[in-house]
Amino acid sequence: MQLFQSPASPFVRKVVVTLHETSQTGDVELVMVTTTPVDSASEILPHNPTGKIPTLSRPDGPALYDSRVICRYLDARAGGKLYRDARIWDTLTLEATGDAIMDAAVSMTYERRVRPEEKQFDGWIEAQWGKIARSLDTLNSRWMSHLNGPLDMGQISVGCALGYLDLRHDARGWRNGHDALTRWYETFAQRPSMQATRPA
């Protein structure tokens, strides 16, 4: 299988962390691409019409996208320990929360890096940060018991989202007012899967 990827993408990191956590790194070749909302990588388009990463091509069926589909596929392929039936709705909602932080944070990055300066919209960027700030409050106040439980895809998504905030939006200081989440992330970020996928 081939994973179209770029190491700075938090959505890609979810997938690669999942490969590590399920001992499948040897089954997937990582193919580096550069793709943006206004310039899709041509290598991806035959597999994924949206041009987005991560995209996983596989020999026995159509390519898979987006990260939620790929992670669930890889987990099922490895025996299914990251989406446990007993708490599936919580796991999926936590994964969606991590993904929503990534969506907003990646959008903020694109606004500054891809959109021409004269068209950039500060109010829109602040509204994206508002989504992130509210999500951080919710994680810190309602989700710590789940985050501190057995490893699942919700935790992986939140861990990758927080890692991306450090990478691209460090100046926002996401840790302020989120002590429990900060403590959890300090430990989670030490996992070998997270250490092996740290963006440069």
- Rounded to an integer, what is the distance from CA 198 to the centroid of its chain? 12
The Cα 175–Cα 136 span in angstroms is 9
Closer to ligand GSH by Cβ: residue 101 or 136: 101
Phi-psi map region of 23: left, alpha, beta (phi>0 left; psi -120 to 50 alpha): left
Closer to ligand GSH by Cβ: residue 41 or 178: 41
**How are beta strands 61-64 and 55-58 bridged, if at all?**
antiparallel
Closer to ligand GSH by Cβ: residue 160 or 178: 160
Site string for ligand GSH, 63-92 (x = CB under 6 A): ---xxx------------------------
Q: What are phi and psi of 197, to 5 degrees?
A: -115, 15
User: Should residue 95 be labelled a site residue for ligand GSH when binding is judged by CB under 6 A?
Assistant: no
Closest distance of CB 29 from ligand GSH, Å: 19
CB 160 within 8 A of CB 17: yes
Helical (H) or strand (E) element with 57: strand 55-58
Closer to ligand GSH by Cβ: residue 53 or 104: 53
Among 21, 75, 95, 99, binds ligand GSH (CB under 6 A): 99
Site string for ligand GSH, 10-49 (x = CB under 6 A): -x-----------------------xxx--x---------
